[in-house]
Structure 1
Amino acid sequence: MSQYNKTNFHKHTFCVFEEKPLSEVSGMRPNHKSKSGSSYFFMESGVYRLSDHWGRAANCKWRLEAADKKHGLRLGFAFWATFHPDNETEKLYFIDYDPQTRTVVYQHKNNLKLDDVKTLFSAPEVTKRIREIRSLFASEAWARHFDGDIETLRNNLIDDIAIHGKTLQQAKSSLS
């Protein structure tokens, strides 16, 4: 039995919603409409959220897993079991990144796979490190002081940050 349901899912939670076609709720009336304009459709197994804003939602961190990054009104669905507790102080998050697509996101520790070896961070720590990793993907200026293949250097830095929990400065120092 999930600890989250329609009465408490919106209280300090992390969740990744899967994008769904709008047709899945067509003809349905929302069970709740938030002050910010999001509509919620409660099901026995989970909740649909129809919204034009994702990420931080009040005191929650809700991400929409979508095939594209278009903006506008989007529908997402999440099972009750995929909601996890969130706060700013506990080390609840790890960094997930894909060097091929150059994407980086944070995930809740309850989403770790058994064989994953990841460092856990608090919400502010993971936010800072993700910003640093995105800057490593966006620029090559940081690499002018290092010898070697830039992709190898970049992957080593990101591994040191995401897996080993080093700061960017510590990771750069270990390359020297």
Structure 2
Amino acid sequence: MENQIVKKAKVYSRTNFFNKTYCVFKGVPLRAISRRKPHYRSESGSTYYYTTKGVFRLSNHWGRAAKCNWRLASEIPVEIDDLRLGYADWVDFRENLGEDIDAYYIRVDFETKNVSYVHRENPEYDNIAVLRTVDATRKLIKQIKNLLDTHKWAKYYEYDDLETFRKEVILKLINTNMTLNELRRELASQQY
């Protein structure tokens, strides 16, 4: 029996969550911190409120934060001056791998037309979506949003139902290493 090296998952807490991590914070209303005093205020003005299970972050900027990638998933409207409050459990934090490492995959909700990126250590990862670097992921997300929000691109192709065609095109981009230009050429060649 071969010895297997098992990589132990890093444990995050208030002392290290801000050091090269990826996390999706869940939006919460401001009243969740109404009786709390901030434990830390960053140079950029974000405030942090620690609990034993996780952290609240009140900020007007999400996405890249120093060497972290912190997203906010929220349906809660902005309440004060672009400030949004998010909460994440310590177990929700993942190591933010290097810029050149394929660490993210793309997920699309076709009903809401919401496109997001997810860390490869997400327990819901299906091993079908292609893992990409952070920059490649961001570039593809922009292209997918354009495919979702417009229909002009589709006028060059024959299809029965635009929404079904749109979904097929986007899933092919997510689940293969094919570029949008390569896919367009493939689709054009199928038209004849």
> Structure 2 vs 1, CA of residues 52 and 128 (structure 1 numbering), >3 Å: closer, same or farther?
same
- Conservation of the 8 A alpha-carbon contact between 2:147 and 2:166: yes
Question: Where does residue 111 of structure 1 map in the other structure?
Answer: 122
Question: Where does residue 157 of structure 1 map in the other structure?
Answer: 169
> Structure 2 vs 1, CA of residues 63 and 85 (structure 1 numbering), >3 Å: closer, same or farther?
same
Deviation at 1:23, TM superposition (A): 2.1
CA deviation digits over 1:97-147, x for unaligned, max 9? Answer: 011111111011111426452110110110111011011112222112111
Q: TM-score, normalised by structure 1?
A: 0.91
Deviation at 1:170, TM superposition (A): 2.1
> Structure 2 vs 1, CA of residues 74 and 85 (structure 1 numbering), >3 Å: closer, same or farther?
same
Larger gyration radius, structure 1 or structure 2:
2
The partner residue of 1:32 within 40, 52, 72 is 40
Distance in 2 between residues matched to 1:79 and 1:18, nearest whole Å: 10
Distance in 1 between residues matched to 2:83 and 2:100, nearest whole Å: 32
Query: Larger deviation: 159-168 or 30-39?
Result: 159-168
- Residue 172 (structure 1) aligned with residue 172 (structure 2): no
- Conservation of the 8 A alpha-carbon contact between 1:14 and 1:62: yes
- Residue 67 (structure 1) aligned with residue 75 (structure 2): yes
CA deviation digits over 1:61-101, x for unaligned, max 9? Answer: 11111114647222111011111111311111000001111
Question: Where does residue 151 of structure 2 map in the other structure?
Answer: 140
- Conservation of the 8 A alpha-carbon contact between 1:38 and 1:51: yes
SS in 1 for 2:121: helix
The partner residue of 1:84 within 90, 94, 102 is 94
Q: What RMSD, in angstroms, separates the aligned Cα atoms of the two structures?
A: 1.8
1:114-129 superposed matches below 5 A: 115=126, 117-129=128-140
SS in 2 for 1:14: strand
Distance in 2 between residues matched to 1:69 and 1:147, nearest whole Å: 40
The partner residue of 1:95 within 83, 87, 106 is 106
Question: Where does residue 9 of structure 1 map in the other structure?
Answer: 17
Deviation at 1:21, TM superposition (A): 2.1
Unmatched segments (≥5 aa) in structure 1: none
CA deviation digits over 1:30-85, x for unaligned, max 9? Answer: 11100111111111211111112212212211111111464722211101111111
Query: Larger deviation: 60-69 or 15-24?
Result: 60-69
Question: Where does residue 47 of structure 1 map in the other structure?
Answer: 55
Deviation at 1:5, TM superposition (A): 1.3
AA aligned to 1:124 is D
Unmatched segments (≥5 aa) in structure 2: 1-8
- Conservation of the 8 A alpha-carbon contact between 1:14 and 1:83: yes
- Conservation of the 8 A alpha-carbon contact between 1:94 and 1:107: yes
